[in-house]
Amino acid sequence: MRLASYNVENLFDRAKAMNLDSWEEGRPILEKFAALEGLLGQVNYSDADKRKMAELIIALGLERSDTGPFVLLRRNRGALLTRPKTGGLVIVANGRADWVGSLELREEPVDEEAMRNTARVMNDINADVLGIVEVESRPALSAFNSLIVPSAGGDPFAHVMVIDGNDERGIDVGLMTRKDFPIGFMRSHVDDRMPDGSLIFSRDCAEYRIGTPAGATLVLLVNHFKSKGYGGVQASDARRKAQAKRAREIYEALLTEGIDYVALIGDLNDFPDSQPLKPLTTSTLKDAFTHPDFDDGGYPGTYGLCNTTNKIDCLFLSPTLFEKVQRGGVFRRGLWPGSRPKRWDVYPELTTERQGASDHAAIWVDLDI
């Protein structure tokens, strides 16, 4: 069987701030969004909090309206702010209980050719079991599977599943499997918490049990760890380390249960030698990239230009499962190859960076189970 993992970076709709021509353009917007969202979620607002909120709201283009170029402020009930006729903005709420609403990133459609390139990648890697990262929802993944995958010449998967996660931007983790690989028991870890009560997983560490035609059971832990994209370095590193620690605990509990075939897959937003991922890399999990029959295509990474520190997508396998690896590789035909020089061959339909299927390569292994 072929197991694969692919960060698709949304299929139909993507936050406008994440859909700009380059990541550097969108990053300041996402940082301000995250900072404002954190302040708005506090139980009580200090005077300093209110001043910072007002600054961020104005910086996000919401001074005159609740609809900005990249962000939408929903105010359903209560009073959060006023906009004096003389200009500026005043926060009148004293805490989260004073108003009901939310802060949301505005979305826009994904480039049509990029969408088809995503389908081409799925078709060409031809996985029996495909872990999906950054998908909007199960209906979106199901529609993509039934409509776009066949339009690009592929066969739809028989089973499609997404468990709604913790990220309000609609970037969840999911799973697609072929007819002979039914999805059985499923468990979400969205409510796993740190000692201070905060959520551990940014999205989820979704647990799926898959049956194989040979009668084996494969357990997948599909992950998408905290991004480095915005927020303080120390805080985001600590969050990823907590996620790695909890994922290791879940993995080791499965081994104790007597399950031999376990794979932790997805986008960990850090490279294996990083400190935040030490809980995983010091466990018994083995990196499929280290298998002698794994072909990385001449580049060590899986994201962007695929340098060493861009190896952020993973196929970590339990020792018994690692022994069953026949071969594996990194598939980059849907990933923008750079221009000076181009690093790898891509689809002829991929002529601009915006048409890339994703900023991530797909990764796969063939397993004899």
pLDDT, one tens digit per residue, over 80-90 is 999 998 888 99
Q: Tokens for 73, please give them.
A: 């402020």
pLDDT of 135: 93
Would you mind telling me the total number of residues written for the chain in this entry? Answer: 369
| Cα 65 to Cα 43: distance, rounded to the nearest angstrom | 25
Are 190 and 165 contacting, i.e. CB atoms less than 8 angstroms apart?
A: yes
pLDDT, one tens digit per residue, over 235-273 is 889 999 999 999 999 999 999 999 999 999 999 999 999
Q: Which of 161, 107, 108 is nearest to 130 (CA)?
A: 161
pLDDT, one tens digit per residue, over 39-81 is 998 999 999 999 999 999 999 999 989 999 999 999 989 999 9
Q: CATH 3.60.10.10 region(s) of the chain?
A: 2-13+110-367
Are 367 and 1 contacting, i.e. CB atoms less than 8 angstroms apart?
A: yes
pLDDT confidence band for 160 (50 / 70 / 90) = very high
| Cα 189 to Cα 200: distance, rounded to the nearest angstrom | 9
pLDDT of 356: 92
pLDDT confidence band for 148 (50 / 70 / 90) = very high
Q: Could you tell me which CATH class the domain 2-13+110-367 is placed in? A: alpha beta
Outline where the chain has alpha helix (H).
23-40, 47-59, 112-125, 138-143, 149-151, 233-256, 278-281, 319-322
Are 53 and 37 contacting, i.e. CB atoms less than 8 angstroms apart?
A: no
pLDDT, one tens digit per residue, over 333-364 is 999 998 888 999 999 999 988 899 999 999 99
pLDDT of 85: 86
Q: What's the chain's Rg over C-alpha atoms?
A: 21
In this predicted structure, the answer to whether residue 229 has a pLDDT above a threshold of 70 is no
**Mean pLDDT on 279-289:** 98
**Mean pLDDT on 10-24:** 70
Q: Give residues with Cβ within 8 angstroms of 15, minimum separation 6.
A: 70, 105, 106, 107, 169
| Cα 67 to Cα 62: distance, rounded to the nearest angstrom | 6
Tell me the whole-structure pTM to 2 decimals. 0.83
**Mean pLDDT on 132-139:** 94
pLDDT, one tens digit per residue, over 167-215 is 877 789 999 999 999 999 999 999 999 999 999 999 999 999 999 999 9
Average pLDDT of the chain to the nearest whole number: 93
